[in-house]
Amino acid sequence: MPRAASLLLAFLTACAAPTAQNARQMTTRDSAGVTIVEYPRGLVAELPVWQLGDALTVIGGEDADQSHDMTGVIGGLLEDAGLVVADETNMQLRRFSTSGELLAATGGRGSGPGELLYLTQVLRSPDGPAAMDFGRGVLVIYDDSLRYLREVAFREFDGGTRYQVIGVEDDGTLLARGGPRQGHSLEPQKSEIRRDAEVVERLHPGSGRIDSLFTTSGPEYYHLTNGMRGRRFAMTSFVGRNVDGFLSSEGERWEIVGRDSSGAIRRVVRFDLLRRPVTEAMRAAQLRLDHAEIDALPPGGFEGIRRLAALDFADPRFPDSLPPFDRSRFGRDGTLWLREGTAPSDSLQRWFVFHGDSLLATLSIPAGFDVLDAQRDRVLLRRTDSLDIGYIELREVRVGR
């Protein structure tokens, strides 16, 4: 039988009406040396539903002193016996016990050893927490007690501070995505929706050597004359490190790509999950937030931003459907957490929890909470009240239906 005919026969066989049994069975097959794992919709619908449990500790609030003020927190990490938060207000990492006791803090704002000028990211390294200082273009690495160890300067690499750090290897090399970007010409009004290619690379401090591993896509955006704006409800990709290499997805569908340490694709896991349509209520809620953000700008000095906003509001760009997922978190216990595409009008945000090829469960979290870090038994959450005062909550996760 000719190859084209055999492929067609295989396709028609696969598309035959599913029985009640195979609609709930995971399938695995090989395609040119890549393992393809597929979860049908019936199996996904029967997933365990985990519950958000009681708060183990709450830090912050109106009466909190400076060391416990959480209003400027932009990120956080779970630890065996506590947590670390990254605060852009005072440019510090702070370590707390599970009961909320302050155990250690980094040096604060400045250019000295362990100090930070513009904190934009916190992540784990083999030595302890690491902070990206965009102001000086360095990654500052601390031990588990938040004692300063060393820093890596990004100016020795072509991508400079355009890199987003994915991880730090045991030998000190960095895994990062981004790097140099091509410039765009000014647009008279609006450009089409775009996604820039981003290269995942291994950076070797000291030598400046760069090993390119694979390419992914950045979030959707469009140009507005001399500015640019992220598309509302944009598709966005993720890349993260795991014990076998990398997990990634372009964000166009419910699909997770497993790669080895060289970046080669070894496994693809697909899930038959529907994307939610964008409704008029979703559009209206998002536009209210956008207008409120512009209205909150102080008078004077922001006229250019207001002109671009007026141009954008005259023809807002919305997709037909929400993205499959819009946020990702990699747990230190090997779990991957993906938030289903969410709109401002939603009262709950639904997270899907994965481990390897397994889709473990879903967990619903009230709107208004930002998940900073997560693992099977705990989640680290941030929220603000009506006065924009910040709180950090460490919550237990109750496993089961």
**Does a structural domain hold residue 23?**
no
- Pair (205, 308) in one structural domain: no
Average pLDDT over residues 341-365: 93
The pLDDT tens digits for 107-131 are 899 999 999 999 999 999 999 999 9
Residue 11 binned pLDDT confidence (cut-offs 50, 70, 90): very low
- Pair (302, 167) in one structural domain: no
Tell me the CB-side half-sphere exposure of residue 49, using CA atoms within 13 A. Answer: 6
How many other CB atoms are there within 10 angstroms of residue 376's CB atom?
16
Q: Give me the pLDDT at residue 228, please.
A: 78
Give yes or no for a contact between 51 and 398, defined as CB atoms under 8 angstroms apart. yes
**Does a structural domain hold residue 103?**
yes
Q: Give me the pLDDT at residue 161, please.
A: 64
Could you tell me the CATH number of the domain that includes residue 200?
Answer: 2.120.10.30
Q: Give me the pLDDT at residue 190, please.
A: 60
353, pLDDT greater than 90: yes
Q: How many domains does the chain have?
A: 2
Q: Give me the pLDDT at residue 18, please.
A: 45
**Does a structural domain hold residue 40?**
yes
How many helices (H) and strands (E) would you count in the chain? 4, 28
Domain boundary among 270, 287, 317: 317
- Pair (158, 102) in one structural domain: yes
**Does a structural domain hold residue 13?**
no
Q: Give me the pLDDT at residue 230, please.
A: 87
261, pLDDT greater than 90: yes
Residue 371 binned pLDDT confidence (cut-offs 50, 70, 90): very high
54, pLDDT greater than 80: yes
Domain boundary among 317, 337, 371: 317
The pLDDT tens digits for 185-211 are 444 456 789 898 999 999 999 888 999
Domain boundary among 317, 341, 373: 317
For the chain, the first-to-last Cα distance in angstroms comes to: 49
383, pLDDT greater than 90: yes
**Percent of the chain clearing pLDDT 90 (strictly above):** 69
Return mean pLDDT, the chain.
88
DSSP 123-163: EE-SSSEEEEETTTTEEEEE-TT--EEEEEEGGGSTTGGG-
Average pLDDT over residues 159-176: 86
Q: Give me the pLDDT at residue 386, please.
A: 87
Q: Give me the pLDDT at residue 16, please.
A: 40
Give the least confident one: 89-103, 108-122, 171-185, 375-389.
Answer: 171-185
- Pair (175, 294) in one structural domain: no
162, pLDDT greater than 80: no
Domain that holds residue 141: 34-278+318-396
Q: Give me the pLDDT at residue 1, please.
A: 46
- Pair (365, 284) in one structural domain: no
Distance between CA atoms of residues 44 and 41, nearest Å: 5
315, pLDDT greater than 80: yes
